[in-house]
Structure 1
């Protein structure tokens, strides 16, 4: 039996002349289809993750690809038991992924694609002249990464350009970058080429596409995702846990936020570890008077605060899109 819901992950670098107008029209389209998720609109393109009923998601994909600007967008499609989001947000931002690289245009130059099956062979062979580079943030690669990949000590992707200085010794090697869905690598690989790296490639579609097409083989740990699931299983061939509980040190890929809202540290924590400080990462945090009640999940949904999906729309509900 097919799952009733789908989760869609996608991006597209393509010029949008009036991002504000497009945002409103796109927002209304998502409301008509009862979709939830996060979509970023910028003059350079579109980036989104949404969930909804299968028929609604299929219609959404058809509608997006019917626009000549996005006819080439590739959706990573996963079956899920329910919505993976509780809200819908469609926002205009300067970049569709915050890279602090507004001058980089992936439509003009970027790293060549490596398809999942080819990438799987590279992971198995591990050629000496090839480097696998993870361009994601610490909390992402600490819970899961590809075997023997180089990781960077960064809190946010916007820190990537500064860290490239540490990779000077790799300039003459073949570098293959990867991220969750591919969008960060479009700019990361382009920036590496700009900085003089000779042979730069990127995993096409990122970790998620690799999981769909190559069974996630040799991806160690779980894949961090930006929806209410937080992490998802990826490797169907040789899975393993690489992260450890922040409190007890035992292997654990269960991601939580510290129950102290002033800390809110995002870390792996086992159920046993969570019981030590009632969901907090330390004794000090557990003593904070504002500590949130620990409900066993370590996931603290932001208050809806009268959330209205139509708030901020300037046009009438029947505006065409």
Structure 2
């Protein structure tokens, strides 16, 4: 029986990726559908994807599947056929990355989760099958031409910062579970208006549309395929592009350009910039926006203190990292630093 987990070091896997001769395509997909035994589903899926040399992250839960992966281009149609044959995945929409170098992932991880997107919803009456209607790119543009239409961004603050749709409302939070009740509260007086929700690939705004309907809203839509599908449709159909800036993505690329506009600013000097990076100090690893000039000045670090740290001997750096909590830490404009993580931004 094939191994159901990766057993090769990250360094070796990354080296293998850069030695591949076949280019790769980065894909994302999701679907809400009932899975009786997520563990069995996970193991079978891992075997299939591994055989096709797929890399990436896949989450499986009783409520469905959520995946961001890359596949060698010669195996793309084979992958599509395999997914079509999985019970519950017929007709699955594959979102193909917009700005793709094929180096987004170098290992396959398929994990069982409680939810495919953490939502904090505990109400047993919440019904994911009762969700808002899809809108495609052309319909999105037509509906948003009406100034009374409300457009809601269901992504994190650092995603919104580098790119968003014209006149989109930001739900200012670090987590989707916090955004759901916040969105209902912020829109409480707009329950009868046309509301269109969007996110990167559709998974968050689809659940958010169901949540608002559950809370008594009446005219809720969500953008089919999210920003990724919208960008393809704009190019293929010659539509007006209402998205400004860059689309943040949760892989090694950290972003794909949707328009030429740069709407964000370097977190260190304030110059126009929209390139996310992680602080080179492994004891900090803060996600922040850095311009090329500051990247050179601070050697890829978020602060002089972290810059000083990376120039210490390796054993001293390791000692400083001991006991430091691991996790995702992002720069928030409302905070000068993330507590306990490095020295923050200058």
TM-score range, shorter chain: 0.7 to 0.9
1:74-123 per-residue CA deviation (whole Å, 9 max, x = no partner) reads 111248443420111000001111112265443x2001111111112334
The residue matched to 1:142 in structure 2 has which SS? helix
Structure 2 match to 1:139: 158
**CA 1:292/1:51 → structure 2, altered by over 3 Å: closer, same or farther?**
farther
Query: Mean alpha-carbon deviation: is it higher for 53-62 or for 128-137?
Result: 53-62
Residue segments in structure 2 that go unaligned for 5+ positions in a row: 1-21, 315-346
Of 186, 189, 192, the residue aligned with 1:172 is 192
Of 28, 31, 50, the residue aligned with 2:50 is 31
Provide the C-alpha distance between the structure 2 equivalents of 1:291 and 1:43, rounded to a whole number of angstroms.
Answer: 47
2:140 maps to 1:116: no
Structure 1 match to 2:287: 266
Residue segments in structure 1 that go unaligned for 5+ positions in a row: 294-321
**CA 1:28/1:153 → structure 2, altered by over 3 Å: closer, same or farther?**
same
Question: Under a length normalisation based on structure 1, what TM-score does the superposition of the two structures give?
Answer: 0.83
Contact preservation (8 Å) 1:260, 1:290? no
Contact preservation (8 Å) 2:271, 2:291? yes
1:194-238 per-residue CA deviation (whole Å, 9 max, x = no partner) reads 112221110111000001111381211100111111101123xxx
Q: Which has the higher contact order (CA 8 A, sep 6+)?
A: 1
Provide the C-alpha distance between the structure 2 equivalents of 1:93 and 1:200, rounded to a whole number of angstroms.
Answer: 28
Deviation at 1:72, TM superposition (A): 2.8
Deviation at 1:250, TM superposition (A): 0.6
Structure 1 match to 2:306: 285
Provide the C-alpha distance between the structure 2 equivalents of 1:9 and 1:217, rounded to a whole number of angstroms.
Answer: 21
Of 92, 100, 105, the residue aligned with 2:120 is 100
2:221 maps to 1:201: yes
Provide the C-alpha distance between the structure 1 equivalents of 2:313 and 2:45, rounded to a whole number of angstroms.
Answer: 36
The residue matched to 1:70 in structure 2 has which SS? coil
Pairwise CA RMSD: 2.1
The residue matched to 1:132 in structure 2 has which SS? strand
Deviation at 1:290, TM superposition (A): 8.2
Provide the C-alpha distance between the structure 1 equivalents of 2:311 and 2:152, rounded to a whole number of angstroms.
Answer: 40
Provide the C-alpha distance between the structure 2 equivalents of 1:137 and 1:290, rounded to a whole number of angstroms.
Answer: 33
Provide the C-alpha distance between the structure 2 equivalents of 1:63 and 1:147, rounded to a whole number of angstroms.
Answer: 38
Provide the C-alpha distance between the structure 2 equivalents of 1:74 and 1:289, rounded to a whole number of angstroms.
Answer: 43
Provide the C-alpha distance between the structure 2 equivalents of 1:212 and 1:292, rounded to a whole number of angstroms.
Answer: 47
Structure 1 match to 2:24: 5
**CA 1:290/1:42 → structure 2, altered by over 3 Å: closer, same or farther?**
farther
